[in-house]
């Protein structure tokens, strides 16, 4: 078992806190005080290289093997390889008992990979389901770009993890309706910053942060491949310019950040 898999298994989280591991890209492993493990958009392979010739940057290696993933839930935001990875999801399914969740296109793809129907649950924009004891809400994401495969049913997720509310934007442009998540009072915002291929820029991500007023904000979707990255310092600068009170958190791929609840 690799270092990160051991860390995820061995990490105990205090009540009211949340353990957050970054997988790189838009991928995270979240561990609760009750020991629940939720994985979002795990990209644990080199399929972007295989499909597009986009190699991982040295700073973002594969930190966890698919067959090492021990999760209750695996959430997928849309059917692009760096979020719904054909070289990660089937291995996770074979080696674990995880339940897989996503919008219609993700669900159809995962069932096509042979994951048993009863382990793949569909959730679309505006829907909320309690899965493995965790309230999961799918919210709108606008992931459209001039070129490339469109993902008309892309979602973001709002999760209530034992009292800590998180919002993972998925891949999305900035639009005013994303601000509606403010009603859910997110404690932690995971926001895309790469500013290309149908995603909001660092400045727009900072604006969304200022609107949602989370306690913490974690910029994501940077540092994975040279062809599609951003500098988080630009996001930090924009956040400062807007006077946001959200505390930004930068995690290295494979590392743990513990949100203490305050």
Residues that bind Zn ion (CB under 5 A): 82, 171
Within 10 angstroms of residue 67's Cβ, the number of other Cβ atoms is 14
Q: How far is the CB of 107 from Zn ion (least distance, A)?
A: 18
Q: How far is the CB of 202 from Zn ion (least distance, A)?
A: 15
Q: Please, which residues bridge with residue 219 across strands?
A: 191
Closer to Zn ion by Cβ: residue 170 or 248: 170
Burial 103-136 (b: 16+ CB within 10 A, else e): bebbbebbeeeebeeebbbbbeeeeeeebeebeb
Nearest C-alpha neighbor of 249 from the set 235, 99, 241, 238:
235
Q: Which residue has the tokens 């005080």?
A: 33
Q: How far is the CB of 141 from Zn ion (least distance, A)?
A: 10
Q: How large is the C-alpha radius of gyration of the chain?
A: 17
Closer to Zn ion by Cβ: residue 82 or 85: 82
Closer to Zn ion by Cβ: residue 83 or 215: 83
Q: Please, which residues bridge with residue 123 across strands?
A: none
Q: How far is the CB of 54 from Zn ion (least distance, A)?
A: 11
Nearest to Zn ion by Cβ — which residue? Answer: 171
Q: Are strands 73-75 and 216-220 parallel, antiparallel or unpaired?
A: unpaired
Closer to Zn ion by Cβ: residue 49 or 128: 49
User: Reduced to 3 states, what is the DSSP secondary structure of residue 25?
Assistant: coil
Q: Rounded to 5 degrees, what angle do the CA atoms 71, 64, 236 make?
A: 95
Closer to Zn ion by Cβ: residue 24 or 66: 24
CA distance 55 to 77: 22
Q: How far is the CB of 85 from Zn ion (least distance, A)?
A: 11
Closer to Zn ion by Cβ: residue 52 or 95: 52
Closer to Zn ion by Cβ: residue 171 or 187: 171
Q: How far is the CB of 171 from Zn ion (least distance, A)?
A: 4
Q: How far is the CB of 194 from Zn ion (least distance, A)?
A: 8
Q: Are 72 and 38 in contact (CB under 8 A)?
A: yes
Nearest C-alpha neighbor of 22 from the set 47, 52, 44, 48:
44
CA distance 223 to 24: 7
């Amino acid at each position: 078992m690799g270092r990160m898999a051991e860390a995820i298994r061995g990490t105990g989280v205090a009540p009211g806190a949340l353990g957050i591991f970054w997988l790189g890209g838009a991928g995270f492993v979240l561990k609760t005080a009750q020991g629940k493990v939720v994985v979002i958009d795990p990209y644990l392979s080199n399929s972007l290289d295989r499909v597009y010739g986009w190699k991982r940057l040295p700073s973002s290696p594969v930190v966890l093997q698919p067959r090492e993933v021990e999760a209750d839930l695996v959430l997928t935001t849309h059917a692009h390889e760096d979020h719904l990875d054909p070289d990660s999801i089937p291995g996770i399914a074979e080696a674990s008992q995880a339940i897989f969740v996503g919008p219609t296109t993700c669900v159809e793809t995962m069932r096509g990979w042979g994951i048993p129907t009863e382990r793949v649950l569909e959730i679309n924009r505006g829907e909320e389901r309690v899965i493995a004891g965790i309230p999961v809400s799918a919210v709108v994401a606008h992931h459209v770009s001039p070129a490339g495969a469109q993902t008309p049913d892309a979602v973001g997720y709002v999760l209530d993890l034992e009292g800590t509310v998180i919002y993972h934007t998925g891949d999305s442009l900035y639009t005013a309706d994303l601000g509606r998540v403010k009603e859910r009072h997110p404690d932690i915002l995971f926001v895309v910053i790469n500013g290309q291929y149908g995603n909001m820029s660092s400045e727009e991500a900072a604006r969304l942060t200022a609107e949602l007023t989370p306690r913490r904000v974690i910029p994501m979707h940077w540092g994975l491949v040279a062809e599609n990255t951003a500098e988080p310092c630009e996001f930090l600068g924009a956040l400062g310019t807007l006077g946001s009170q959200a505390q930004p958190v930068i995690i290295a791929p494979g590392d743990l950040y513990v949100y203490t609840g305050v």
